[in-house]
Amino acid sequence: EDQVTQSPEALRLQEGESSSLNCSYTVSGLRGLFWYRQDPGKGPEFLFTLYSAGEEKEKERLKATLTKKESFLHITAPKPEDSATYLCAVQAGTSYDKVIFGPGTSLSVIP
Amino acid sequence: GAGVSQSPSNKVTEKGKDVELRCDPISGHTALYWYRQSLGQGLEFLIYFQGNSAPDKSGLPSDRFSAERTGGSVSTLTIQRTQQEDSAVYLCASSGETQYFGPGTRLLVL
């Protein structure tokens, strides 16, 4: 069964303290892995798409990497405005473009 | 439009009533998804439309839930005889290569 897990469930960082969020997946035929940011009361906001192992994408203080089993979202020198829930999702190689979401990691960055 | 829009933004209803939630996808996007997000939970897939193909309804939690997509554009999610456990945020997304989400409809069933 296709599955996506994320760890940790919650992460509390001091401003400037770099860290990484993990997304592990078991799917048949990965077509794409997505990272989203979700602020309270809002829909998820797209951050990155990764398609193949070894691929990396960067945006400001965020960098996403992908291996055959997992993806990491690295946050360098985070700021309080980076506080949000970060969602990982995968699109598997089925006949339908179903996207499976992980439960998310809630990040709090303390000034 | 510039993004995915959903209406209403908030809906309060009484147990047993029917509700309709609307989604306007990004123009040109052929795929449309409905998800449900309960408080503090991840996104639960409900239903997926792709062009004129039969929808993937595998995520609908019961036969009280149904969805339509008219003319390959606007979609309506209908919940009949609402129950308190239906209270959640209902998110719609459309995609070309990337999924973009609407702001959601917050449903509260009293």
Chain A residue numbers with beta carbons less than 8 Å from the beta carbon of B48 are 96-98
pLDDT of residue B9: 95
By the CB < 8 Å criterion, does A27 face chain B? no
| N-to-C CA span, chain A | 41
Q: Tell me: pLDDT of A83 over 80.
A: yes
pLDDT of residue A84: 97
Chain B residue numbers with beta carbons less than 8 Å from the beta carbon of A104 are 42
By the CB < 8 Å criterion, does B91 face chain A? yes
Say which residue the tokens 């990040």 belong to.
A107
Q: How far, in Å, CA of A39 to CA of A83, rounded? A: 8
pLDDT of residue A41: 86
pLDDT of residue A27: 83
**Strand pairing class (A19-26; A3-7):** antiparallel
Mark yes or no for CB contact B91/A101 under 8 Å.
no
Closest CA to A31 of A54, A57, A49: A49
Per-10-residue mean pLDDT, chain B, length 110: 89 97 93 89 87 83 93 92 96 88 96
Average pLDDT estimate for A29-50:
92
Q: How far, in Å, CA of B47 to CA of B66, rounded? A: 9
